[in-house]
Structure 1
Amino acid sequence: MLYPPSSFIEFVILILLLLFTATLSLAVSNRIHLPFPAVLVLVGILLAQFEMVSQPLQELFLHDWFPPILLLILLPTLIFAAAFKLDARQLGYTLLPILILAVPGLLLSITLMGIAIWYFTSLNLPNALLLGTILSATDPVAIIALFKRLNAPKRLIVLIEGESLFNNVAAIIATAIILPMVSVGHFPSDTLWQGVETFAWKFIGGIVVGWAMALIIGWLLQQLEKNTFIEISLTILLVYGAFLLAEEGLEVSGVMAVAIVGIALGSWEQSKLSPLTYQYLQQFWKYLAQVAYALIFLLTGLSLHLTIWKHGGLVAIVIIAMLLSRAIVVYGLTAIMNWLPYQRPIHWRYSTVMYWGSLRGAIALAMVLTLDEFALADTFLDVVISAVLFTLLVKGLTLNKLIHWLKLDTPSLVDKLSRIEGKLKAQQRAFGRIPEFQQGGLFSARIAERQCRRCEENIRDTRNQFINLQKIAASSEEEQHLLFLRIFAEEKTLYDEMFAKGHLSERAYRKLIYSLELQTEAIRHEGQLPRFTLHFLWLERWQITLLNFLENLPMTRRWARYWNALQTAKDYEEAWGRHQGNIHILAYLDELSQTESIRPQVIEKVRSHYRRWHDSARARIDNTTEQFAEFVATMQEQLAERLILHAEREAITEQAQAGFLAAGVAQTMLKNLDTQIYEQSGVKLAVAHLHLDPLQLLSKVPVFRNISPEEGKLIMNYLKTRMFPAREIILKPGDSNDSLYLIVHGVIRVSRLEQEYDKDVATLMAGDFFGEEALWQPISSTTTYRTVTPCSVYELCREDFEKVQILRHPQEKSSKCLR
């Protein structure tokens, strides 16, 4: 029988002992209220004094497999866990400031720290820059926990998490680039430029590899049957496979690839993963990250030399340089970002917390532990551990006091009102449950009566607190903000019910909930509603421009048309969901005006906003209905099918729980229903009704009625897509026209000037055409063609028509070919 080598057995035993030590350290940390990482380092230092522990660990550190374990297992785990929990949609809206803080901010931090360390110490410039790079990696765990407790704006939390993620990735890439240059002792000009090129190649290459791997595995997950084992196995393969492919196969950044994979997986949720798998992955990777985090800090403490005091001067200079460089990066770059368009400003108090809460942690320690063949490895290890402990013990333990001094822990009047109102609702619900105790006659009437009196007193006290706080709000503005928060909570409850019943797809539900989150945060933190939450006008204009450009390119025309149709379908579903929510809230406001003592002007202001949103959503629905009647009918059929399938599923579940259906039979029936529900979900089934086939449009024109499919495909290459907004004139009397127009979507009104007034003479819709005479010779328009709704048309000009004729009949004149 073969046994593994003794060194491997010792390695497994040591890992188990370290895990056990980390578990006890966490219990101690919670008891004495010290940061968990600091306790781990201190415990590691203590264990290192025992030879029976330190000797095997020294052999472990010197073994060939130790650095690869750090690089191939622990680092990807930490990076993926950080990326997986990011809000991908919020990340998309804050990506520009995140990248500004992460990449230029990192380079600025490295430069400032490196120059300061080089100038004030005996280290040469390459070594100083390497040390600055390692200490530029930040750990946002403490500050994120604080911000969540303070109910800070979510965009700010995502900004810090995203900046830390990409900052750490960029620091790891920069370390890998600078380290080989350290042996030279200086940076030649060509080496510097090569380093910049290498950084860009690794950074962008990692993004491409991660995104490509995520797309492949995502497609595979959609094709395969929903199974927890398959899904989890593929996601683990995706994480470490992307790292190895990027790092070892293509020599780009593996950690960047892992970061992109984590963001992609986190954004999939139920669209590609089953709910059970997604919840399990959240807990699984959170645990793995905690294990990696604990092992790195313990190993750091075990590796620390007790002669660290010899580097006291260097440590002091490094810490001062680290503090000053971070201050310049945070305050300087946030000031610049506050001037960027479409970016809400970051208050100086939050910038201060971002600065002081920028701790150093596991990533910096993992990088310094991999410097096994570096001449100054021991010195760097002592300095980095000292800097990490300083941030944990000094900055970490004073962060709460800073929060209190900045008055960020003081709730606003709106938060106080909403908290008391929530408490009041909870007490009223508890009071309503007391009669349930007495059902059956076995519960003491005396105890029930005493509980009723206690609940009534609590409700009365809470209501008095609420009334007193309302009196503090001299104006109706605070009351209006509170009402908005109540309304948003009610609207969210409605969307939850619609999603649970299958009325909304998972993608539309998430978009609507995200819109409510933006509105809630804007009211709570800024005291006003955001300009846009669902439909950003500048983004819609940019998308229309891009799609028009792509539809005119033969290589991307088919993809652009499909994407345009898919986007239209998604917009319709969002508008329908918002329309249903607005109707519900308007009725809810009418009920509040009758049952609660809210100022009428406050209710009217809130009602006016919802009326406007209702009209906007209704206009979008009507616009889509006018242009794509078949699509809307298909969407409604899908909704009806989902409602029926969900009702059947509920009935089968109830029968199985009652024991009427056998477990195996019920499971099979539910599985079939889930498959049918999945097939009816989303908008892809309805997309086919959004576009008319160009060949069908051409066949309606007399001159093209008898063309073959091959000739039709030839003509399609010359069709140009034109997009017109509503109420735009395409042709007017006197305009020279030399094109045929085929209407793909929209409504066009034809009018003629009669007795100084425009008289409508025709209405053209999808499938109609006009201007066919212009294919033979230029004509002067005698009527006005004006769009009623946004329109999409194909245009075939006479010049292109003649080219087609020559290609089809090279021996004949184009003017005689089709007559």
Structure 2
Amino acid sequence: MDIVLITTVVASLFLVIGLAEPLAGRVKLPYSVILAIIGILIGIGASFFLATELTDALNPVAGAILNLPIRANVFLYVFLPTLLFQTTLGVNIRRMIDDWVPILVLAVIAVLVSTLAIGSALGATSALPLAACLLIGAIVSTTDPSAVVGIFRSISAPRRLARIIEGESLLNDAAAIALFGLFLGYVSRGVPDPGLEDAIFRFPVLVAGGVLVGWACGRVALALMILCRRYELAQMSLSVALPYLAYIGAEQLAGVSGVIAVVAAGLTLNLAGPGRLSPSSWTNLREVWDLLAHWAGALIFVLAALLIPRLLEEVRPSDLMLITVVVVTATAARAVMLFGLLPLLSMLRLSPVVERPYRTAILWGGLRGAVTLALALAVTESTRVPIEVKRLVGILATGFTLFTLIVQGTTLRWVIQRLGLSKLSPLDDALSKQVVAVSLQTVREEVAEATEDYHLSREVVRSEAKRFGERLDMAVKAAEDATEILDRDRVTLGLLALAGAERDVILERIRERVISSRQSDRVLAEADRLIEATRSNGRLGYQRAARNSVDYTGSFRLAVILHRRLRLSFPLAQMTADRFERLLSHRLVLQDLEGFIERRIRRIHGRRVAELLTELLTRRKEMVETALDGLRLQYPGYAEELERRLIRRTALRLEEREYEAMREDGLIGAELHTALLQALAKRRAQVERRPHLDVAMQRVDMVKQFPLFEDLDDSELRQLSRALVTRYVNAGERVLARDGQAEGVYFIASGAVELNAAGQSWRLGRGEMFGQMALLLRRPRRAEVTAIAPSTLLLLDAESFRALLRKSERLQRALQDSAAKRGIAPERLGFGEAQREVG
């Protein structure tokens, strides 16, 4: 085929892609539906011009369109890795982990249920072997939720809902294509009825092998990109090579799922890349992949739609009945997941509640698209698949795809409007009024500053200021007069504004490199959780999310166990250093928010709401300071090292800004500017290197901070530090239960606890101990102990405590004072023998 003709056709396809998006916006249809319709029309038009004798002038173009060298392998090996890889780079993995249960239900369990249901229904209504029926079920189980996600975003649906759908899209493609490869192998080998045990065994092997290959490829690619940190174009080139090599290596060399390998490679780069690459490199890399995926997604839709007329050439009346079976069964299987299993998981508190209107929209928005067509085309082109199976696979997959695109896709927006999802809730409506009022206040202040520099006439400035002031007064009054909003909701609105301002401050500090790239994703994810929790549960949700941001996580506790029992210190050192950095970042951000409440919130919601928000913000700062104090006590000097690193990073940022200003003013030339930035980059690389934290050598220093141990010499301190066991507890966590047997004595390294006994309660803080009375009196504990702040506790077993008591007069006096406060005679503690030995 003439290269000029092919180039013309490809360029024309890009022209179509460019015009389809504004067309979709004008006619209010999903972009994918418009692309599919255009592709079908182009395919029908090309076939018509070749078949008719009305004109032969367009025959070369029509022939070039129909004979483009586009086969199934092009979709599977060129377009598919691009789409999957870009999706993995774009998702917020840490936020997806929060919703892993509903994502796995919709992405994996729903795919398995849909495949089995469609396979069983076709097996009962057609003459196809069961393996071919299951193959069709796997092909049509992939969903393309881009349409419903786009509409959800346009109507301000909860972010969590859109994230669940995006996570489903990412993983259900991988699961469905892995099943597709499994059942295609059975059909190609002529196995009519595959054993279920064999399929169950092989599927996890394909998935696990793909994950391993993808992870290894991702780590190798990241290491090479770090070596090329000064060459952004080289890094982008390496990222482009990664998904294709992972796909081919997994499929051709390892014999496992290439799709799973691409997803695993992308997730590996997504998790580790932001912390190892510079912010500009990561941003540019993401932008390149967004463009590549946009082109790939559009081309795969148009090119696959071009083939639809060919796939439907041999449709028979009986095939329409089978298409109906597929449509009904696929819809019913998805409905069972959405309206049966998902509510059950919500009742068991394993999944967030997804309201019925949203579940209905997700059901109707489960469109099928180019991936389904590409998989069907792969079957029709296979020489090892029987002819009748190829014909039915092509017809059923294409017919079902057309139904979802034309029927569901064109009516999706109407369905969402009928469900009432396109209307703002009273809370969102009030929030929008508040946003307008706050924004106009900022605009008025900035316009007033700008007009001073314009040297305009006073009459013009005065008239425009009056006009703008009237508009601002109307906006503020609208925000204040939202009478349908309760005071509780006003607090929620204020907290949402405060959480949004916090996210803006975080983004600004990330751009300024005050917050390191290693921690940027984690800190932003916590800000998003704060916003979503506030929107869902108001003040309580805000407080819970704020507390979770400073709590010790399950992975941190696991790292502590590995360090204590297996002497594996690296995970604990990494997580502790990350916690240090994150808490310092929180402290900086919260300090920046101090004036926001007074400047913005008070004007709209009044003094009471502003005072309450100030109190909540003060509590958050206290929680962060308490957590930082605990780390400083346990690892003296390390916080200071991180603070020095922060100052150096800030100085480098300011130095870079000065160089940019000099370059713009023409004070330095381009060559000198480049040389200065290169030298700056070397120093920045050194500063970004985080200081090493040795968790194994810090306990002695922590023990020295206790006044109770001041009379011990160095050898006794080392011996004591080896006997102490560190325990981390969160606020609200019970440390000791009433009536339990004494196991030792707890010393509070940081935080605070509350003791409750006999109707009384008292609190203990840093440097104090508890549990000693039950141990010395040899009786069950009468007090219940609960942490009231994230706390670091040191547990000393009974034998070691008694040995320490015999050596330390200061500890004896402290116990005597504690016993006197509780009305316990000192001789009941058995001090006589200890004092004689000391004497």
Whether TM-score is above 0.5 comes out as yes
Give aligned-pair identity as a percent. 23
- 1:569 equivalent to 2:572? Answer no
Counterpart in the other structure of 2:252: 248
Q: Structure 1 CA distance, aligned partners of 2:534 and 2:216?
A: 39
Change (3 A) 1:340 1:508: farther
Q: Structure 1 CA distance, aligned partners of 2:622 and 2:551?
A: 21
Q: Structure 2 CA distance, aligned partners of 1:324 and 1:93?
A: 28
- 1:486 equivalent to 2:494? Answer no
The code of the aligned residue for 1:514 comes to: A
Counterpart in the other structure of 1:812: none
The code of the aligned residue for 1:507 comes to: R
Alpha-carbon distance, 1:85 to partner: 1.5
Alpha-carbon distance, 1:130 to partner: 1.4
Q: Structure 2 CA distance, aligned partners of 1:414 and 1:703?
A: 62
Q: Structure 2 CA distance, aligned partners of 1:503 and 1:294?
A: 39
Counterpart in the other structure of 1:673: 680
Counterpart contact for 1:101–1:333, Cα < 8 Å: no
Change (3 A) 1:721 1:342: farther
Counterpart contact for 1:572–1:620, Cα < 8 Å: no
Q: Structure 2 CA distance, aligned partners of 1:288 and 1:670?
A: 30
Q: Structure 1 CA distance, aligned partners of 2:41 and 2:353?
A: 40
Q: Structure 2 CA distance, aligned partners of 1:410 and 1:30?
A: 19
Counterpart in the other structure of 1:546: 558
Q: Structure 1 CA distance, aligned partners of 2:139 and 2:553?
A: 43
Q: Structure 2 CA distance, aligned partners of 1:590 and 1:462?
A: 18
Alpha-carbon distance, 1:201 to partner: 0.7
Residue 655 of structure 1, aligned match among 659, 662, 668: 662
Q: Secondary structure at the match of 1:723?
A: strand
Deviates more, 1:534-543 or 1:631-640: 534-543
Q: Point out where structure 1 has 5 or more consecutive residues left out of the alignment.
A: 1-5, 706-714, 758-765, 787-819
Q: Structure 1 CA distance, aligned partners of 2:258 and 2:640?
A: 47
Q: Structure 1 CA distance, aligned partners of 2:655 and 2:301?
A: 54
Counterpart in the other structure of 2:208: 204
Q: Structure 2 CA distance, aligned partners of 1:537 and 1:455?
A: 41
Change (3 A) 1:725 1:133: closer
Counterpart contact for 1:138–1:168, Cα < 8 Å: yes
Counterpart in the other structure of 2:479: 466
Alpha-carbon distance, 1:690 to partner: 7.4
Q: Structure 2 CA distance, aligned partners of 1:574 and 1:422?
A: 29
Q: Structure 1 CA distance, aligned partners of 2:322 and 2:743?
A: 80
Counterpart contact for 1:106–1:171, Cα < 8 Å: yes
- What are the within-5 Å matches in structure 2 for residues 610-759 of structure 1? 610-681=617-688, 684-688=690-694, 691-692=697-698, 722-725=725-728
Q: Secondary structure at the match of 1:49?
A: helix
Q: Structure 1 CA distance, aligned partners of 2:409 and 2:271?
A: 31
Change (3 A) 1:650 1:465: same
Q: Point out where structure 2 has 5 or more consecutive residues left out of the alignment.
A: 51-58, 704-712, 750-764, 778-791, 812-839
Change (3 A) 1:440 1:464: closer
The code of the aligned residue for 2:183 comes to: I
Counterpart in the other structure of 1:476: 487
Counterpart contact for 1:25–1:43, Cα < 8 Å: no
| 1:368-396 Cα deviation digits (max 9, x unpaired) | 11111232323322222221121112111
Alpha-carbon distance, 1:122 to partner: 3.6
Counterpart contact for 2:46–2:65, Cα < 8 Å: no
Q: Secondary structure at the match of 2:469?
A: helix
Residue 299 of structure 1, aligned match among 297, 303, 318: 303
Residue 504 of structure 1, aligned match among 512, 515, 529: 515
Aligned residue pair count: 733
- 1:417 equivalent to 2:417? Answer no
Counterpart contact for 2:107–2:168, Cα < 8 Å: yes
Residue 278 of structure 1, aligned match among 252, 265, 282: 282
- What are the within-5 Å matches in structure 2 for residues 259-274 of structure 1? 259-268=263-272, 270-274=274-278
Alpha-carbon distance, 1:320 to partner: 1.6
Counterpart contact for 2:376–2:394, Cα < 8 Å: yes
Deviates more, 1:263-272 or 1:73-82: 263-272
Counterpart in the other structure of 2:163: 158
Q: Structure 2 CA distance, aligned partners of 1:528 and 1:42?
A: 54
Counterpart contact for 2:550–2:623, Cα < 8 Å: no
The code of the aligned residue for 2:264 comes to: I
Counterpart in the other structure of 1:366: 374
Counterpart contact for 1:736–1:781, Cα < 8 Å: no
- What are the within-5 Å matches in structure 2 for residues 356-435 of structure 1? 356-371=364-379, 372-373=381-382, 374=385, 375=387, 376-432=389-445, 433=447
The code of the aligned residue for 2:628 comes to: I
| 1:380-430 Cα deviation digits (max 9, x unpaired) | 222222211211121112221222222222212332233223323444444
Q: Secondary structure at the match of 1:504?
A: coil
| 1:611-645 Cα deviation digits (max 9, x unpaired) | 32222111111111111112122122212222322
Q: Secondary structure at the match of 2:691?
A: helix
Q: Structure 1 CA distance, aligned partners of 2:28 and 2:550?
A: 49
Counterpart contact for 1:413–1:478, Cα < 8 Å: no
Change (3 A) 1:21 1:345: closer
Q: Structure 1 CA distance, aligned partners of 2:291 and 2:806?
A: 74
Q: Structure 1 CA distance, aligned partners of 2:724 and 2:556?
A: 12
Counterpart in the other structure of 1:799: none
Q: Structure 2 CA distance, aligned partners of 1:539 and 1:601?
A: 29
Residue 137 of structure 1, aligned match among 128, 131, 142: 142
Q: Structure 1 CA distance, aligned partners of 2:600 and 2:111?
A: 52
Q: Structure 2 CA distance, aligned partners of 1:566 and 1:386?
A: 53
Counterpart contact for 1:750–1:783, Cα < 8 Å: no
Q: Secondary structure at the match of 2:726?
A: strand
The code of the aligned residue for 1:723 comes to: T
- 1:195 equivalent to 2:199? Answer yes
Q: Structure 2 CA distance, aligned partners of 1:670 and 1:356?
A: 53
Scaled by the length of structure 1, the TM-score of the pair is 0.79
- What are the within-5 Å matches in structure 2 for residues 163-178 of structure 1? 163-178=168-183
Counterpart contact for 2:590–2:617, Cα < 8 Å: yes
Q: Secondary structure at the match of 1:598?
A: helix
- 1:608 equivalent to 2:615? Answer yes
Alpha-carbon distance, 1:116 to partner: 1.6
- 1:46 equivalent to 2:25? Answer no
Change (3 A) 1:335 1:7: farther
Change (3 A) 1:509 1:29: closer
- What are the within-5 Å matches in structure 2 for residues 25-36 of structure 1? 25-26=20-21, 29-30=24-25, 32-34=27-29, 35-36=33-34
Q: Structure 2 CA distance, aligned partners of 1:438 and 1:769?
A: 65
Alpha-carbon distance, 1:748 to partner: 7.5
Alpha-carbon distance, 1:147 to partner: 1.4
Q: Secondary structure at the match of 1:286?
A: helix
Q: Structure 1 CA distance, aligned partners of 2:242 and 2:658?
A: 39
Q: Structure 1 CA distance, aligned partners of 2:329 and 2:577?
A: 54
Alpha-carbon distance, 1:237 to partner: 1.8
Change (3 A) 1:193 1:215: same
Q: Secondary structure at the match of 2:424?
A: coil
Residue 329 of structure 2, aligned match among 306, 317, 321: 321
Change (3 A) 1:38 1:770: closer
Change (3 A) 1:500 1:603: same
Counterpart contact for 1:438–1:448, Cα < 8 Å: no
Q: Secondary structure at the match of 2:149?
A: helix
The code of the aligned residue for 1:618 comes to: E
Counterpart in the other structure of 1:518: 529
Change (3 A) 1:284 1:548: closer
Q: Secondary structure at the match of 1:687?
A: coil
Kindly report the root-mean-square deviation, in angstroms, between the aligned alpha carbons of the 2 structures: 4.2
Counterpart contact for 1:150–1:409, Cα < 8 Å: yes
